[in-house]
Amino acid sequence: MPVVAPAMPLQGESARPGVSLHDELLVALRDYIVEGHLADGARVPERQLCERFGISRTPLREALKVLAAEGLIDLLPNRGARIRELGSEELRELFDVMGGLEALAGRLACERISDAEVAEIERVHHDMYRFYLRREMHGYFQCNQAIHRMIVEAAANAALSATYASFAGRIRRVRYSANLAKERDRWGEAMREHEMILDALRRRAGNELSDILFLHLRNKRKAAQAEASA
Amino acid sequence: MPVVAPAMPLQGESARPGVSLHDELLVALRDYIVEGHLADGARVPERQLCERFGISRTPLREALKVLAAEGLIDLLPNRGARIRELGSEELRELFDVMGGLEALAGRLACERISDAEVAEIERVHHDMYRFYLRREMHGYFQCNQAIHRMIVEAAANAALSATYASFAGRIRRVRYSANLAKERDRWGEAMREHEMILDALRRRAGNELSDILFLHLRNKRKAAQAEASA
DNA sequence: TTCCTAAAAAATGAATGCAAAAGATCGGCA
DNA sequence: TGCCGATCTTTTGCATTCATTTTTTAGGAA
């Protein structure tokens, strides 16, 4: 039996303007799934979630349709929703798309990023390097994430950001489990790649940065999958 | 008053296995919007669409939520759905993402495409060239589309294909109106770009193909937007 | 005991009902 | 005549209800 938290009535506080209940529910439910409260392949318990969020089935089902369209769950006719299982093949596909999106972000970023923004990324990069030298995995990881996020934001493309966020969500569930351990072996290599990323960004070398970012994600995925199958 | 076709009860014929009514409705409604039956910024008439498709409001509203998540419509709280208007800025963003996705597709295609598949693309390319020489816009356009589609398919990445299709749908509405006329001036240039695409594909030069495809889309967008503002 | 069948229970998919909010209509007033 | 406000209508969002379908459970035969 899946553990369902006692009840979390979707804090129906002062209805913020422009934010419908449906949106809140969608976000809450997505988080609930991404954070791994439901096991892979598990049935999504409609009724229990209704109680959990204090709503009726109609809005919940609307949210489920959206999450299914996003690829987070599968919707089997007459058989309800299930948490989508990610085989290694699908995970490979998702990582490649993430790589493509980051490659695009890098390319676009080079076209419009300001010196100040580059300097900001440089700062985080150096923080990251210090964490690397001290072998502080967690801090390193935070900086790493921040740099990738900053590059996507520097691209200044809302459609790209939204798509990127969607894929990041789909992968996150897996990333948590697989990433940390074996990444260690690749640490030096990843650090070198990040040096190249920063260098290309400084020179506004879009094509180059694009290639590096794609391969960077490729390598990250390979490391994660080697870990997963080990 | 928007012209709503008499009634098209979503041919509820022999329920195909694995395809729920909801899926069919989603496809039908998306097509209905993409094909331009509703004007930009127009209200989406819930009630009329229910009659149009012969269903109740519940499944229709579910479909609307999904289309809103896809970015085809805006959903204003207590104010219903509206066809999303695409400003030139947003259109630029969408084209850039399309370019990024095609760039990714080219890169991936180079990794795994077979000689036979390249030959097939080559064949369509030559058909296209013939249309170009004869100044037959329509045939040229068809071949053009086919080539891009084949490259995406050659990437063999379902997540990419789905995302690509989604963006293509969002752009299509606009593409119809803006594309054909001014594209003529760019015809020679576009043809040359396609030569480069094919060449890079033959040599399996992924990085190169990636850059060419991105710029190809960029130029296409510039031509379309120059046309739109003319 | 084990397997198969049939009834009961639960779940899903879709329609309908209802309160609240937005929009439209009409009358009053300057 | 033109503008503003009150009332009425329509629409929206969500809950509830109903018909099917699936899943579970109970019973009986080999």
pLDDT digit string, tens, across residues A97-119: 999 999 999 999 999 999 999 99
- pLDDT score, position A157: 98
Measured between alpha carbons, how far is A206 from A199 in angstroms, rounded to an integer?
Answer: 11
Question: For A147, how many CA atoms within 13 A lie in the half-sphere containing its CB?
Answer: 27
CA–CA min distance A126, chain B (Å): 29
% chain B with pLDDT above 90: 77
Element holding A226 (H helix, E strand): helix A206-229
Measured between alpha carbons, how far is B52 from B54 in angstroms, rounded to an integer?
Answer: 6
CA–CA min distance A179, chain B (Å): 21
- pLDDT score, position A200: 98
Domains with residue ranges and CATH for chain B: 21-83 (1.10.10.10), 88-229 (1.20.120.530)
- pLDDT score, position A223: 85
CB-strand contact B9/C, under 7 Å: no
- Is the Cβ pair A20, B75 closer than 8 Å? yes
The full length of chain A comes to 230
Residue A66, CA distances (Å) to A40, A57, B51, B67 in order: 18, 14, 23, 9
The strand ranges marked E within chain B are 73-76, 80-83
Residues of B in contact with A159 (CB under 8 A): 71, 90, 93-94, 96-97, 167
- Is the Cβ pair B103, A100 closer than 8 Å? yes
A6: DSSP letter: S
Which parts of chain B register pLDDT below 70? 1-19, 175-184, 227-230
When the pLDDT of each residue in chain A is averaged and rounded to a whole number, the result is: 89
Measured between alpha carbons, how far is A123 from A114 in angstroms, rounded to an integer?
Answer: 14
Measured between alpha carbons, how far is A153 from A161 in angstroms, rounded to an integer?
Answer: 7
Closest CA to B168 of B154, B184, B153, B181: B153
- pLDDT score, position A13: 46
Contact assessment for residue B106 and residue B121, using Cβ atoms and an 8 Å cutoff: no
- pLDDT score, position A224: 80
Residues of A in contact with B94 (CB under 8 A): 159
Q: Which nucleotide is nearest to A17 (CA to C1')?
A: C21
Report chain D positions within 7 A of protein CB atoms: 11-17, 21-23
- pLDDT tens, position by position, for chain A (230 residues)? 344 455 566 654 444 555 777 889 999 999 999 999 999 999 999 999 999 999 999 999 999 999 999 999 999 999 999 999 999 999 999 999 999 999 999 999 999 999 999 999 999 999 999 999 999 989 999 999 999 999 999 999 999 999 999 999 999 887 655 555 556 678 899 999 999 999 999 999 999 999 999 999 999 988 887 766 65
Residues of B in contact with A106 (CB under 8 A): none
- pLDDT score, position B143: 97
Of A20, A70, A159, the CB nearest to B97: A159
- pLDDT score, position B93: 98
Of A18, A101, A167, the CB nearest to B100: A101
Residues of B in contact with A107 (CB under 8 A): 100, 214
- pLDDT score, position A175: 62
Contact assessment for residue A10 and residue A53, using Cβ atoms and an 8 Å cutoff: yes
- pLDDT score, position B13: 46
- By C-alpha distance, the chain A residue nearest B212 is A207
- pLDDT score, position B14: 46
Among the residues of B83-114, which ranges form H helices?
88-112
